[in-house]
Chain A
């Protein structure tokens, strides 16, 4: 197994090790309270993993504070997991890599696999001894901003991967069924390939094998020799694909465009391709 993935068995055996901190990050921020891996911290992506004033990722001082109060220092092995096959666990992973955390891993299969296996769950919120965390300056090479995406579209310098579902890609729907619409136009960024994030996962929520993943992306012309920008609606599903391409397949140049469709699909005058 890749060094950035751990199994549910591994977490059951090592989740309480002194140098390990397990953290749950869910799309549904109430999921943690319904039962979580014993000893796990719970992070709320809507308040703790972002800037709540400006649309941006978590600011460095806020991340340092969150990690410190979660009992995490620079040498801690952080194990992330969550619902929806680790959408926001991957979002947290991406931000932790932006700020230079060395040892962060994802529990393969996430919350779904842990619960389905009938493993121990706790509703207790653990308290952690505070630690001091010093983050590095943000590495924005892992992140694509709008001007870079516009330049990449114009020059065809990057492969664009739209990881949303086919109905979102074609513009038939503006958001996944049951979720609020958050854009003015449907469709996709011109030139993007549609490779839904879920194709990288097995039914039990685990990631497919490296060979299967290579075949999935190369079939659409996404290979390691060309820079890649992944996007979705708000950047969390694309952080999942970013994780696959960068850390499971080892692509050197992969960026997550976290502005994603809620930025592009609301821009006045931006080119949109349909279907």
Chain B
């Protein structure tokens, strides 16, 4: 098998830049969400269509991103 319909793009979600990587392997679409900095994958989902996999992964990603707190940087 080879990855088909491969795509990677950046958007902003819950105030954070993220990358969305999606590809089809066999009959399944795999979607993975990365933060842009530092580039770590932190949410993923599978689906029978690209839209289904991405929507499910983005819902998880948004939930996790909303838990990321920002703190003042002055001492």
Contacts and interface: CB of A to CB of B under 8 A. Distances in A.
A121 interface: yes
B8 A173 contact: no
Contact of B74 (A85, A119, A274): A274
Contacts, number: 109
A197 B32 CA distance: 21
Contact of B41 (A27, A123, A186, A275): A27
A53 to B, nearest CB: 26
B2 interface: yes
Contact of B33 (A112, A120, A178): A178
Given A116-B8, A170-B73, A121 B25 contact: yes
A84 interface: yes
B32 A28 contact: yes
Which DSSP category, helix, strand, loop or mixed, fits chain A's interface? loop
Nearest to B39: A198
Given A28-B32, A175-B68, A35 B39 contact: no
Given A120-B2, A176-B40, A34 B68 contact: no
Contacts of A175: 68
B41 A120 contact: no
Interface size grouping (class) on chain A? 35 or more
A44 interface: no
B43 interface: yes
Nearest to A118: B2
Contacts of B74: 274-275
A115 B25 CA distance: 10
Interface of B: 1-4, 6, 8, 16, 18, 21, 23, 25-26, 30, 32-35, 37-44, 46, 61, 64-65, 67-75
**Top 8 A-B pairs ranked by shortest CB distance?**
A178-B42, A178-B64, A275-B73, A165-B37, A177-B35, A177-B16, A170-B73, A165-B38
